Structure 1
């Protein structure tokens, strides 16, 4: 049986020589280096870049090329990654990961198992890329989940009543007559461009948003208790009536993975 090629990606130069000719060493920054196509991924991820690195792994060019990824993560981060709707740790990280991959807990690893002993405990988790990915604009999805989870325990009805949030959505949605060309929401809010008509526009748009929430039964729902299927449904309801969470001047086509900002991570 032919040997499998082992690819090692390491930022720091390896102090020892790898003699196995079936091992390939890539010396580079994990966030800047293109991940090779692989069957299995095993990694001890630098804890300070866990979020952007996982985003790159499951949303990037190498996504779905691997069968599974076994990762050593900081325990608190792993708990957030594994959180389910209703859990206190449930957050945008879990929602965005669950869109692309199933996450499985393997084991906890005590800090006392390392030399020298670090300050935090760790956990091992496995990621399994999903074979069927929802047809959703990724930038739109990321912006939507960011809005919902800015205050995950507030009802959606309360979140979408905020005047500034409504004005932001009006601008992104290219509402006719609204001051889309202004980068300053305060300028729009003051009515300097639209006069007294701005208040009527906001009231009308607020009613449209409220109608979406009511139609799906989401007015009194809290993001902390919604599954990714619930959130996908709500986003589709918003988009169906022309309400968007990213600037539509960028176009409606889904962005390529190369255009995603992995430094933003999944938080």
Structure 2
């Protein structure tokens, strides 16, 4: 019994790559083997010879080698020490060796250095946190060309009213311009994943919009929990009201403002939504300007979402 459990836990592929490495599904390891797709991704990144490029999950280095050929320096972030050794072996004794810096560890927990461009075949299970880690990274990078699971990529570019439009769509588009570049079939990977993939180009808005992203995220979180319901209904939940009342009281305390004895957070929220003609609006059809206007209206009345 313990043996079966251990085998299930490791979930390591039986098929062995040419390099003699077994790919580990726990790390989302699906190595991109088609050189034409790698070349196309690099072409669309607009690389310059002076660039510092960040690659996440370099695997066996198929993209890394082509990157090293085009830029000044490559910073490769890899969690699997077996692949790190393989990558080091591949550049050893070549002119590429001095141009490659390897960061060993989980990219989500790693402090990323300065880079101009990010090109990567992303381990799909870290897609969402990684996008926001990159978009909140300073100093700004020029652009990122990233491979995602097809549906995740579609969510990134979805517009108000689209079926896949969600909090991820609006939060990403607030901070960046996002374009779909190409679809990539499963047979371009070794081993093939269960889903189709797509490549997306993300270009951070620099300077970013003059808005507190933590507050913005708090507002969109409430609105998109039930994106088909009206905002009036979305804001009625007891836990939401409790948090908003607590934030309001903290705001008043910090600004030496007295909270009226008959203060009613429900009524306050309803009044703001009605005044902004937003009470009957639904998150699934609201754009960035709609949410920005609403956030300013709440903040002006001392209601915060941080």
Structure 2 length as normaliser, TM-score? 0.68
Secondary structure of 1:31's counterpart equals: helix
Q: Does 1:51 align with 2:128?
A: yes
Q: Which runs of 5+ in 2 are unaligned?
A: 1-48, 51-70, 254-259
2:281 matched residue in structure 1: 221
Q: Which runs of 5+ in 1 are unaligned?
A: 179-196, 247-267
Q: Does 1:12 align with 2:80?
A: yes
In structure 2, how many angstroms separate the alpha carbons of the residues matched to 1:43 and 1:228? 28
Q: How many residues align?
A: 223
Higher helix share: 2
Secondary structure of 2:107's counterpart equals: coil
- CA shift for structure 1 position 166: 2.1
Secondary structure of 2:209's counterpart equals: coil
Structure 1 length as normaliser, TM-score? 0.77
2:108 matched residue in structure 1: 31
In structure 1, how many angstroms separate the alpha carbons of the residues matched to 2:127 and 2:208? 22
In structure 2, how many angstroms separate the alpha carbons of the residues matched to 1:176 and 1:34? 33
Residue by residue, what CA displacement relative to the aligned partner does 1:147-197 show, whole Å, maximum 9, x if unpaired?
11111111011222334432321112117999xxxxxxxxxxxxxxxxxx9
Greater relative contact order: 1 or 2 (C-alpha under 8 angstroms, separation 6 or more)? 1
RMSD: 2.3
Structure 1, 117-126 or 208-217: larger mean CA deviation: 208-217
2:35 matched residue in structure 1: none
Residue by residue, what CA displacement relative to the aligned partner does 1:42-94 show, whole Å, maximum 9, x if unpaired?
011110111111110001335x2x11100010111111111110011111111
- CA shift for structure 1 position 41: 0.8
Structure (1 or 2) with the larger CA radius of gyration: 2
Higher strand share: 2
1:255 matched residue in structure 2: none
2:145 matched residue in structure 1: 70
Q: Does 1:244 align with 2:271?
A: no
